[in-house]
Amino acid sequence: MAVFTPVTNAELGDWLQDYDLGDVVDFRGIQSGIENSNFFLTTTHGEFVLTIFENLTAEQLPFYLDLMRHLASHRVPVPDPMPRRDGSLFGLLHGKPASIVTKLEGSPELQPTPAHCVEVGQMLARLHLAGRDFPRHQPNLRSLPWWQEKAPSIVEFLAREQRELFESELAHQTAFFGSADYAALPEGPCHCDLFRDNVLFAPGREHARLGGFFDFYFAGVDKWLFDVAVTVNDWCIDLSTGVLDAARVDAMLRAYQTVRPFTSAEERHWNDMLRAGAMRFWVSRLYDFHRPREAQMLKAHDPGHFERILRERVKAASPVNR
């Protein structure tokens, strides 16, 4: 959510003529993230987030916006895209697709407890089940084919041990994704990026309550187990080492399965999918770090974080650790 495309107040005012959102009260860029240009927008009608999509095309965007509307209609707390006067959910700003969505209540919980993991696990399962009748289909665009595509532009920057890990894991995941077991895993629309900073908790009477999930612009149809693994790899670990925290893992998985129990194949391939989740974000962080784009506000993430996580998951899969 860096600002790659600055917007002046005059440009914003002109663009908002196609909406019925009142007058602008406040408008400012959001610094976190690295994919799109995002801004907090407050008008006389409420609080919103304006996003200019730097990579997604006008053809791809309806999947994400329609998915959020679909989930919101199923009482999953997500940002709701605001329609323009002509009924469309996005328009062009600086020649790029852009949309406005409602701003959720709350703030991220960056030091989650098992109680937070329970709420996230249950809601993630509800999200998966709510997406079963979503009519659009778009694959996760950051899955295995993307890792394979970006690999040649990444490996030249890696030290020998890093390159060995990268290439061996890419081979492992290629075989896993090509297996009959993988093909049989249940799937549907997934968030695919449900990190701590993409979930909000609002104050409650006794404890913080889940405010909602946001930033769906990496969403796609994928294996539900992948979505759970990505979430566990962020919510249930020691951030300095990548080691899983057993209490938080247990809390999240138990909560998720009170809504949607795992299949036997999902249980067998849990570690494979934890590795896939780590590999996906190691690839993207390596690519963003070594092949950066310019931005007015840009905060690159440390690729070493997901290298450590992947090494931990591979170590857990070795025979001596079973």
CATH number, residue 69: 3.30.200.20
Same domain, 43 and 156: no
Same domain, 176 and 314: yes
* Closest residue by Cα to residue 90 from 15, 142, 34: 15
Question: What pLDDT score was predicted for residue 295?
Answer: 52
CA distance linking residue 48 with residue 38, whole number of Å:
11
Same domain, 167 and 92: no
pLDDT over 60 (residue 20): yes
Same domain, 146 and 231: yes
CA distance linking residue 136 with residue 64, whole number of Å:
9
pLDDT band at 1 (very low <50, low <70, confident <90, very high): very low
Q: Indicate the average pLDDT of the chain.
A: 93
Q: Of 47, 80, 102, which residue constitutes the final position of a domain?
A: 102
Residue 180 lies in a domain: yes
**Residue partners of 236: CB distance under 8 A and separation at least 6:** 117, 244, 245, 248, 249, 252
* Domains contained in the chain, number: 2
pLDDT over 90 (residue 319): no
CA distance linking residue 253 with residue 29, whole number of Å:
36
Q: Looking up tokens 């036997």, which residue turns up?
A: 264
**What CATH number did the domain enclosing 271 receive?**
3.90.1200.10
Same domain, 89 and 214: no
**Domain boundaries, position 206:** 114-321
What pLDDT digit, counting tens, does each position of 211-265 carry?
999 999 999 999 999 999 999 999 999 999 999 999 999 999 999 999 999 999 9
Instruction: Name the least confident of 24-28, 56-60, 63-67.
Output: 56-60
Same domain, 175 and 275: yes
Residue 152 lies in a domain: yes
Q: Looking up tokens 């780590």, which residue turns up?
A: 278
C-alpha separations of 57 from 15, 54, 62, 84, 240 in Å: 19, 8, 9, 18, 36
What pLDDT digit, counting tens, does each position of 289-317 carry?
988 866 544 556 889 999 999 999 999 98
pLDDT band at 322 (very low <50, low <70, confident <90, very high): very low
Same domain, 123 and 272: yes
Q: 92, 98 in Cβ contact below 8 A?
A: yes
pLDDT band at 170 (very low <50, low <70, confident <90, very high): very high
Q: 310, 169 in Cβ contact below 8 A?
A: yes
pLDDT over 50 (residue 85): yes
Same domain, 293 and 161: yes
Residue 274 lies in a domain: yes
